Structure 1
Amino acid sequence: MNRKQKRYEALVNVYSPDLYRYAYWICNDPDIAQDLVQETCLRAWKNLDSLLDDKAAKGWLFIILRRENARRFERKHFSLVDIDDYEVADEHDTSKEMDKELLRRKMLALPDDYKEPLLLQLIAGFSAEEIAEQLELNKNTVLTRLFRAKNLLKSSLTVTTNRDGAAHG
């Protein structure tokens, strides 16, 4: 096994779980998430020589993953969905699962300027400095966007809770 292959395998072994978790969060489909990770790994292999510092590998891989996800929408032509093909959720759905799905939908509905930094922080575990580097922004801009994203999310969830007539306080 040559040096490049060893380096590549080490990076993939360390970061694949994080890449998958993030990919799954943004697409909510295990197969698409796996495809995104595979495409990310393939592109990483092809461009491994451009990664000059292994300490920057996590950010580099997540940039590739985000770009692969964007490419997915460039290539895809969405077809209409027939609502009759889907069953309505039964009564066995737990409140916790519904809360998670509501939170996920609300997060994904945020404007991209707020959604991307929030997902990179909460799902991928990046610091504000790392997010700033990935998104090519000033750290203070990232902190402001994270603050606003959390406030938008909180107010969005409060409005939903109030509308549903659930207890609030």
Structure 2
Amino acid sequence: MDILESSPPPRFEEMYEQFHKLIYHIAYNLTKDVHLSQDIVQETFLKAYMKIDTLMDRRKIKAWLTSIARCTAIDFLRKQSKRNEVCIESHEERHPLQEQNGTEETVEALFLKSSVQSNIDRLPASQQEVMRLKVTSDLSDKEIALMLNLSPATVKTRFHRARKQLYSIVHRNLSA
């Protein structure tokens, strides 16, 4: 079934199934980085989920999502060039969930953060350490590498894998 023919509002799962490959290709064409493109896909659909009520014309879902994806990819690339390293977490200083002023958005952000923190224990031990230091202590990759006697590249890899696994766990919990 085509999402454009479905009755309002569009189901997020259908939207993801229909467009995630397109969003990935847009991100990859801009970044030429597999992992960064996967992060951009996740961030794009998170933004879309949070702002689905702003979509005025359902026939323009594809254009709407591709616009979000391009802007998100450009944001990632700008942040990457500022740091002069591969970007793992988008919008660390100004995450869209933290910028919301409404009570409902605040509650959703707190629920998401709580869900992530409660599921960190389900990760492999090596990933738990990195995730806790990154999320709860807000340490940089270099600081974590020094603390755990690891290379910054290893920290980035573990964080990326942990984040990807947590996304799957939280998504499964929300779908259940």
What range describes the TM-score normalised by the shorter chain of this pair? 0.3 to 0.5
Higher RCO (CA-CA < 8 Å; seq separation 6+): 1
